[in-house]
């Protein structure tokens, strides 16, 4: 990023030098030209000046937009904990938060715990009616698969709760047989990869409200005319002990490991 920033002012300097040279040439031509030609030279020089100013303004706007996007991406990398580092309860809270931010009609409430009856998150409409239920399956091994029995149990729970929508969300995977059961029972299955995308969209909404210029992929929005609330994992990140943050799972990829090391350095300051 440093190299990019240093090169762009140089480009603006070249535009400025070009403007000066054009001015000198235009003046020499204007002084030697006939009166009727001077008007054309002056108009051409004025047009060149306007075009050069447009290039400078455009360059600065693009540079600012790239800077804002880079800052938003950096905040995402530092604050969005890997799903592997969350406890099951924290995972449920993060799922509820992401659903509420991304689904317009939904007010989500994490209700998981002992005796939850197979429901970890309730999806309520504006009247407080339960329209959807979510079951969260947090796994220490992201390569493990959620068994089809979970889908069958969720179907029974949905009918018992008379819920319109049913979701099963995991940080791991679903087997092919689980996907087949999901299609059969019309239950939405969201694996770890899809939830990270869904979650990143919610983080984008949260961060975009804090920037003067929102990048294209982080459009400025509000949640039901209210400010987007702080992500639960972001709050957890601020209070998490360094030792816990700095120890990624053995199955974590190199990017997760680098982020954990960076969090350790930041928390140690």
- Do residues 22 and 89 share a domain? no
Number of compact structural domains in the chain = 2
Distances (CA, A) of 14 to 36, 55, 136, 140: 32, 11, 57, 55
CA dist 224 and 103 (Å) reads 10
Q: End-to-end CA distance of the chain: give it in Å, rounded.
A: 24
Higher pLDDT, 176 or 241: 176
Higher pLDDT, 225 or 88: 88
- Do residues 73 and 176 share a domain? no
Higher pLDDT, 223 or 97: 97
- Residues ≥6 apart with Cβ < 8 Å to 93: 110, 232
- Do residues 95 and 225 share a domain? yes
* Segment 12-50, tens digit of pLDDT: 666 667 767 766 776 666 666 666 676 666 667 677 777
Which residues on neighbouring strands pair with residue 122, listed in sequence order? 109, 133
Task: Provide φ and ψ at 169, rounded to 5°.
Answer: -120, 135
Please state, as a whole number, how many other Cβ atoms lie within 10 Å of the Cβ of residue 134. 26
- Do residues 145 and 223 share a domain? yes
pLDDT band at 145 (very low <50, low <70, confident <90, very high): very high
Final residue in a domain of this structure, among 29, 57, 79: 79
Alpha helices (H) along the chain = 2-32, 35-79, 88-102, 148-161, 176-185, 192-208, 232-239, 242-245, 254-267
- Do residues 186 and 90 share a domain? yes
CATH classification of the domain holding 116: 3.40.1350.10
Residues spanned by the domain of 46: 2-79
Instruction: For 24-47, give one letter per residue: b (16+ CB within 10 A) or e.
Output: eebeebeeeeeeeeeeebeeebee
- Do residues 223 and 110 share a domain? yes
* Segment 124-135, tens digit of pLDDT: 998 999 999 999
From 238, 245, 244, select the one nearest 259 (Cα to Cα). 245
pLDDT band at 202 (very low <50, low <70, confident <90, very high): confident
From 123, 130, 184, select the one nearest 161 (Cα to Cα). 130
Q: Which two tokens stand for residue 247?
A: 């120890």
- Do residues 36 and 100 share a domain? no
From 158, 119, 153, select the one nearest 135 (Cα to Cα). 119
Helix (H, G, I), strand (E, B) or coil at 113: coil
- Do residues 101 and 233 share a domain? yes
Do 101 and 206 touch, CB atoms closer than 8 A? yes
């Amino acid at each position: 990023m440093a190299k990019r920033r240093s090169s762009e002012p140089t480009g603006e300097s070249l535009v400025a030098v070009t403007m000066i040279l054009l001015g000198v040439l235009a003046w020499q031509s204007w002084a030697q030209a006939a009166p009727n030609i001077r008007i054309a030279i002056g108009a051409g020089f004025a047009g060149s000046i306007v075009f050069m100013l447009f290039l400078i303004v455009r360059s600065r706007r693009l540079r600012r937009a790239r800077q804002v996007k880079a800052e938003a991406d950096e905040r995402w990398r530092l604050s969005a904990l890997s799903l592997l580092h969350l406890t099951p309860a924290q995972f449920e809270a993060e799922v509820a938060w992401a659903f509420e931010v991304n689904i317009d009609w939904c007010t989500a409430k994490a209700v998981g715990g002992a005796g939850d009856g197979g429901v970890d998150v309730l999806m309520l409409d504006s009247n407080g009616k339960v329209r959807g239920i979510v079951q969260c399956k947090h796994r220490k091994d992201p390569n493990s698969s959620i068994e089809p029995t979970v889908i069958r149990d969720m179907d029974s729970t949905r009918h018992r709760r008379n819920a319109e929508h049913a979701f099963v969300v995991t940080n791991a995977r679903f087997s092919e047989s689980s996907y087949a059961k999901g299609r059969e029972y019309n239950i939405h299955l969201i694996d770890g990869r899809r939830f990270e995308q869904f979650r990143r969209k919610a983080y984008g909404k949260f961060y975009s409200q804090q920037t003067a210029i929102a990048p294209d992929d982080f459009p400025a929005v509000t949640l039901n005319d209210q400010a987007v609330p702080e992500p639960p994992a972001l709050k957890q990140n601020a209070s998490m002990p360094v030792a816990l943050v700095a120890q990624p799972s053995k199955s974590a990829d190199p990017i997760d490991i680098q982020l954990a090391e960076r969090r350790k350095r930041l928390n140690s300051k």
